A = this chain, B = another copy of it.
Amino acid sequence: MSDWIAIDWGTSNLRVWLVSESGEVRDHRLSDKGMGQLEPAGFEPALNALIDDWLSEGEVTQAVACGMVGARKGWIEAPYAAVPCKPEQTDGVQAPVTDPRLSVTILPGLSQITPSANVMRGEETQIAGYLAANPRFDGVICMPGTHTKWVNVSAGKVDSFQTCMTGELFALLSKQSVLRHSLSGDGWSDDAFDAALSECLTRPASFGARLFELRAADLLQGQAAADAKARLSGMLIGLELASAKAYWLGQQVVLIGDARLSALYQKGLGAQGMAATLADATAMTLAGLGAAYKYQTGGTE
């Protein structure tokens, strides 16, 4: 049986795994050649630099890729699959590979028109990975990150989803806004996080009024940066939980994402009486690429 290559190619990073037909990871590598810094002609060399010695003359090794590599400004566009759909059973696009030893299928992201326009690219593969191990799961998957996704899953399909720009807002406000003067430095306050999350979840309008207070409390009262940072994070996640209430209230919620960030969401949901479970993001990506590989190569589930 031949090995295949799993590729997770996001905006900032490229990760590859050499996987046996039985699913065993034989090797894995990482580079910083994310899609964000590459022109179309740069993708194949960036990939080859990592996997050249995994390829064999006279054989074609199959690879499956997910993530921003398939965006309009990526290697080649893999048009979105519309929900509802099974996230691992979508039509991939062949990348324009010149190396005769390699064939790369790029998986599409998912799109939604109603009730409102939305897209994801990369997260659908993590969902597929979770469903591969939990085929009867019926509930909500939340993927915290730069653009957090809230996803309704039922009968093996993604039914609908919502995006919150919570991570990007945190980065913009803490690094580029006037608040940056009051947020630099390490440290963290659980109490400040909890209080801010609770207030913005209960009264989301207060977000508008409370934001500048992070600066004023520093100027007037010398508020510690650790407190301010935890308050900002709590405010943003509180506003997000308020906006995603229809997703998590009374639902079984699984969190897939950075462990520290997911723990914050788990804490916030826990304060509302919701016990969310955590799943490892890298493991879900790899399992999802495996499920897609099976589907792309004609295997059955």
Flag if A209 contacts B117 (CB, 8 Å).
no
Q: Inside 8 A of A165's CB, which chain B residues have their CB? A: 177-178, 211-212
A201-236: contact bitstring with B at CB < 8 Å (1 yes, 0 no)?
Answer: 000111111111101110111010000000000000
Whether B172 pairs with A117 at a CB distance below 8 angstroms is no
Residue of B nearest to A223 (CB): B117
How long is the Cα–Cα vector from A211 to B167 in the complex, in angstroms? 13
A117 x B166 contact (CB < 8 A): no
Give Cα A80 to B221, complex, Å.
13
For the complex, give the distance between the alpha carbons of A227 and B283 in Å. 40
* Cβ–Cβ < 8 Å partners of A210 in chain B: 116
**B contact residues around A177 at 8 Å (CB):** 165, 168-169, 172
Q: Please report the C-alpha to C-alpha distance between residue A162 and residue B209 in the assembled complex, in whole angstroms.
A: 6
A76 to chain B minimum Cβ distance, whole angstroms, is 16
Report the minimal beta-carbon distance from A96 to chain B, rounded to whole angstroms. 22
Given the contacts A177-B172, A205-B239, A207-B239, A216 and B119 also touching, CB distance less than 8 Å: yes
- Chain A's interface size range is 35 or more
Interface pair B207/A243, CB less than 8 Å apart:
yes
CB nearest neighbor in B for A177: B168
Residues of the B chain whose Cβ atoms lie less than 8 Å from the Cβ of A164: 208-209, 211-212
Q: Is the CB of B111 within 8 A of A220?
A: yes
30 residue pairs bridging A and B, Cβ less than 8 Å apart: A113-B220, A116-B209, A116-B210, A117-B216, A117-B217, A117-B221, A117-B223, A118-B216, A119-B219, A119-B220, A163-B209, A163-B216, A164-B209, A164-B211, A165-B177, A166-B208, A169-B177, A172-B172, A172-B173, A176-B176, A204-B204, A204-B242, A205-B239, A205-B243, A206-B243, A207-B207, A207-B243, A208-B243, A209-B243, A209-B244
